[in-house]
Amino acid sequence: MIQKDIVIIGGGPAGLAAAVAAHQAGNRSILILERDSVLGGILNQCIHNGFGLHVFKEELTGPEYAARYIRQVEACGIEVKLDTMVIDLTADKIVTAINEKDGLLQIQAQAVILAMGCRERPRGALNIPGSRPSGIFSAGTAQRFVNIEGYMPGHQIVILGSGDIGLIMARRLTLEGAAVKMVCEIMPYSGGLKRNIVQCLDDYGIPLRLSHTVTQIHGKDRVTGVTVAKVDSDRNPIPGSEEFVACDTLLLSVGLIPENELTRKAGIVINPKTLGAIVDESLTTSIEGIFAAGNVLHVHDLVDYVSTEAELAGKNAVKYVSGRLVKNESVAVVTGSGVRYTVPSAIHPAIAETITTIRFRTDNVYKDSYVSVDLDGERLQHIKKRILTPGEMEQVLIPRKWLSERPGLATITIKIEEE
Amino acid sequence: MVDVLIIGAGVVGASVARALSQYELNAVVIEKNHDVCEETSKANSGIVHAGYDALPGTMKAKFNLLGSRMMASFCRDLDVPYRNNGSLILAFCDNDLPRLAALKEQGELNGVEGLRLLTAAEAKRLEPNLNAGVVGAMLAPSGAVVDPFELTIAQAELAAVNGIDFVFDAEVRAIRKTTSGFLVTTDRGDYETKVVVNCAGVRADELNNLVSTRKLSIIPRKGEYCLFDKQVGTLVEHTIFQMPTELGKGVLVTPTAEGNLLIGPSAVDVADKDDVSTTAEGLAEVVRKARQSIVSVPTGFVITAFAGLRATERDGDFVIGEAPDVPGFYNAAGIESPGLTSAPAIGDHLAASIAIALGLELKKNPIRKRPGTIRFETLDTDRKAAMIRDNPDYGKIVCRCELVTAAEIRDAIRRPLGATTIDGVKRRARAGSGRCQGGFCSPKVIRILAEELGIDPLEIVKSDQHSIILVGFDKDDM
């Protein structure tokens, strides 16, 4: 059995940043296991710009952003195994992986960082009725075909779901010569970033139909069209509002799901809201020494936040390996009204960083509302926000001082308060 | 001139071909689709029915029992996933209890063994997730689940290695009686044959009616299903039925032979024999009825929905055997449920009849077993390591949801009657049948298919000839 201090599962943005941070924190026994033949993960197919504004203070494409971290990983001499799929993870941190060259590998890790990313929700998750022809793609699959393989998935496109990948693909497919007829969003608001709606739809005159969904897929061999209908406030199609839209392709951008098969195999507790592990402020999961960061933990809006989150996991994995991550009392982070989830779910005041970032998403669109932070009912923060939407990740910063000044503190509640 | 022309490469046609392939003969299977297992055989419950619900004395009762009894060893020989998980039939009100007892009696008349009436408490001990409203149940221990794709594909492969020809994309246009047999006109040429076996599923009536005055009438009865992530595949252990009605066996909740959870089917007669679209009403009904059995059906874990057409004959029974007024024309028509269970036995029966009629002799050394694709995921660690040492392609995962390796995909393409389409790979090697439904692996599967078949990725189809996936290169339309 191979022995490693830190095994990082996934060489996308989270895994890369975690590895560099762990190296910088002094560890020299790090192994990245990546299932693809190159590092960088999904960033490789995200050839649009808009990455890196927070981390590098400049606008990069996905591959450029990834390259910055890949160069650091290489400069640090961190060991990487490509084309390597982890097929098992146990609670005592035995990682089983396979590849062509080494065959089957078993690695006893002292610490494991989960950085497997997420996958797209398929058609089945929506149960869109109709036939099952070719021409139905998830937006990310279409992105791979167009940006990596050089193939067009269709000529006339309808996109269901206004998540960021769907918006980005509306623009990409237009630039590559396809006609994007519309983007339908079942919610009354978009699931993507505002800037993407402006730059990917508005700039190209692609209509965004809010409160609309696809109620039927037509076509025997290949998609010939879809029925689009308006939905009521309970998201049920409104009879009489149906409209047939001819197209040969339906792209689905209907949500991302953290890819936690290995997490489950190890018996780690999953948060039903994020579908990622439940973690504390050190990004430790329910198993000490197993950390999670990036989209496998919760789906992020910007890769920059993936990187900063993963750096924390890398740093704490080193602390854990060297016996410096000793925990005692913890404070629970509670989701108050308007907050769908928080990461982390608990903070250990004794070992927390000077400032702990709590990331969260709201459960709806809130205008001119306040993000409040209560410590056992005592309001310590009340910040006005012009707009809060579920498509954008929010954060609050918790100074350790607040916690250390309040021994016996039980809860930190994050909530949205309307005027 | 061939000895036998089998029309249709669903599970029934494949069963007939497999059984006939044990004899010395010249036989061809013609299929209008691009692959075997493209219609009803790919879209059903995948259940080996115990045999209690067919009326005693019917063809359905006879072949169901034969099929159910032979299935375990048959699947062992053909390397087909099969699991004898037992069936439970639920009663929801006291009025159902006498009907349940009558069902047990009927089953015993049919020859089904081991049927047992259970109290609600006994049933819930077996299945803790049963609805609180269950008042009693019948246990049918011989009920089982089988992979319907593999049951069809395995038999077709065995037939092929024993010398039976398969011709795809060949729809029958006409059948004419000749002095020595039949002349069958298809999209891909004419066939002169001594014997025709009609295994044409929902269209078996149309073929029969071309030559026989004993008209058949098949009304397609649509059944819709929802398939769930393997993560919830153990919600139930048994196949959970409700009391049968005149339209069928009702909505079931079952684990599949592959370990998913499956609910369905609905039962609606439709006019169009190609209409396998799902409907909002149908899927909602399936969920509603499944929840009568298991309240906690986890709809958030649905990975796909599909519909199939049962070939329901007007008279309600299988039509099996030589058409009384057309010697040499054999029907396997009206094969709706329990058709999957019955198919291997129907194949044996028809092959035996045809062998007598044509005076066929058994082959000296026919191949009787078929090795399936090796399922890398199911092997233990040492065996996995050894497999990769022998063939590094086992170290390359292509489908991450079902952990399918490149070696398995190449095998699915290279084996007899191998896959030529995305769906063909999916049904043989499971790549794309998992929770992301091909999102990650389809680009890789397209590449492997193109490489193995020596064609351009632009020519790769999902299933039928026109179901192309990629339409051109970037900027072609500009």
Task: Classify domain A327-419 by CATH number.
Answer: 2.60.40
Q: Across residues B347-362, what is the average pLDDT? A: 98
Count Cβ atoms within 10 A of the Cβ of residue A411 and give its class: 0-12 exposed, 13-18 middle, 19 or more buried: middle
In this complex, do B381 and A155 lie within 8 Å of one another by their Cβ atoms?
no
- The string of DSSP codes covering A138-199 is EHHHHHHIIIII-EES-SEEEEE--SHHHHHHHHHHHHTT-EEEEEEESSSS-SS-HHHIII
Q: What is the pLDDT along chain A (419 residues), one digit of tens a residue?
A: 999 999 999 999 999 999 999 999 999 999 999 999 999 999 999 999 999 999 999 999 999 999 999 999 999 999 999 999 999 999 999 999 999 999 999 999 999 999 999 999 887 778 899 999 999 999 999 999 999 999 999 999 999 999 899 999 999 999 999 999 999 999 999 888 889 999 999 999 999 999 999 999 999 999 999 999 999 999 999 999 999 999 999 999 999 999 999 999 999 999 999 999 999 999 999 999 999 999 999 999 999 999 999 999 999 999 999 999 999 899 999 999 999 999 999 999 999 999 999 999 999 999 999 999 999 999 999 999 999 999 889 999 999 999 999 999 999 999 999 87
* Separation in Å, CA of B441 to nearest CA in chain A: 9
pLDDT band at B329 (very low <50, low <70, confident <90, very high): very high
- What is the separation of C-alpha B193 from the centre of its chain, rounded to a whole number of angstroms? 27
Q: Do A131 and B465 touch (CB under 8 A)?
A: no
Contact A177 B475 (CB under 8 A): yes
**What does DSSP say about strands B27-30 and B47-48: parallel, antiparallel, or unpaired?**
unpaired
Q: Which residues of B touch A106 (CB under 8 A)?
A: 381
Under CATH, which number does the domain A122-254 receive?
3.50.50.60
Q: Is A119 on the interface with B (CB under 8 A)?
A: yes
Closest of B395, B411, B408, B409 to residue B442, by C-alpha:
B409
Residue A37 distance to chain B (closest CA, Å): 10
Q: Is-contact B301 B227, C-beta < 8 A? A: no
A224 at interface of B, judged by CB pairs closer than 8 A: no
Cβ–Cβ gap A220/B274 under 8 Å: yes
Tokens 């299945």 -> residue = B127
Q: Looking at the predicted structure, is the pLDDT value of residue B74 above 90? A: yes
Q: What is the domain partition of chain A in residue ranges?
A: 1-120+256-326, 122-254, 327-419
Residue B469's pLDDT is 97
Domain A1-120+256-326 superfamily per CATH: FAD/NAD(P)-binding domain (3.50.50.60)
The interface residues of chain A toward chain B in range 151-170, judged by CB-CB distance below 8 A, are 151-155
Cross-chain CB nearest to B477 (options A101, A133, A177): A177
Task: Note the pLDDT tens digit of each residue in B431-474.
Answer: 999 999 999 999 999 999 999 999 999 999 999 889 999 999 99
Give the burial class of B338: count Cβ atoms within 10 A of its Cβ; 0-12 exposed, 13-18 middle, 19 or more buried: buried
Query: pLDDT band for position B399 (50/70/90)?
Result: very high
Give me the pLDDT at residue B244, please. Answer: 83
pLDDT for res A277: 98
Closest CA to A418 of A388, A392, A398: A388
Backbone phi, psi, residue A203, to 5°: -65, -20
Determine if residue B286 is left, alpha or beta; phi over 0 gives left, psi from -120 to 50 gives alpha, anything else beta: alpha
- In terms of DSSP bridges, do strands A30-33 and A79-81 run parallel, antiparallel, or are they unpaired? parallel
Domains of chain B from N-terminus onward = 2-40+149-217+316-358 (3.50.50.60), 82-145+219-312 (3.30.9.10), 376-459 (1.10.10)
Cβ–Cβ contacts within 10 Å for residue B141, how many?
A: 16
Distance of CA A70 to the CA centre of its chain: 20
Nearest residue, CB atoms, B395 vs list A103, A144, A148: A103
A2 in B contact zone (CB under 8 Å): no
Q: Which of A127, A129, A152 lies closest to B472 in CB terms? A: A152
Nearest-by-CA chain A residue for B276: A131
CA distance B108 to B106: 5
Closest chain A residue to the Cα of B401, Cα to Cα: A261
What CA–CA distance (Å, rounded) separates B356 from B23?
A: 11
3-state DSSP helix/strand/coil % of chain A, to nearest 5: 25, 35, 40
8 Å CB contact of B468 and A134 = yes
Give A259-289 as a DSSP string. Answer: --HHHHHTT--B-TTTSSB--BTT-B-SSTT
Give the separation between CA A332 and CA B9, rounded to whole angstroms. 61
Instruction: Test B394 with A176 for CB contact under 8 angstroms.
Output: no
d(CA A11, CA A73): 10
Compute CA distances A299 → A295, A304, A316, A343, whole Å.
4, 13, 21, 11
| Cα B154 from Cα B464, distance rounded (Å) | 21
Dihedral angle sign, alpha carbons of residues B116, B120, B122, B126: positive
Separation in Å, CA B393 to CA A98, A122, A182, B413: 11, 27, 42, 14
The residues facing A9 across adjacent strands are A33, A114
Contact indicator for A296, A14 with CB cutoff of 8 Å: yes
Q: Fold match between A1-120+256-326 and A122-254?
A: yes
Whole-angstrom Cα distance, residue A305 to residue A359?
A: 10
Q: How far apart are CA A382 and CA A370, in angstroms?
A: 6
Mean pLDDT of B242-247: 82
The CA angle B285-B291-B295, to the nearest 5 degrees, is 155
pLDDT tens-digit series, residues A300-332: 999 999 999 999 999 999 999 999 999 989 999
pLDDT at A297: 98
- B183-225, pLDDT tens digit by residue? 999 999 999 999 999 999 999 999 999 999 999 999 999 999 9
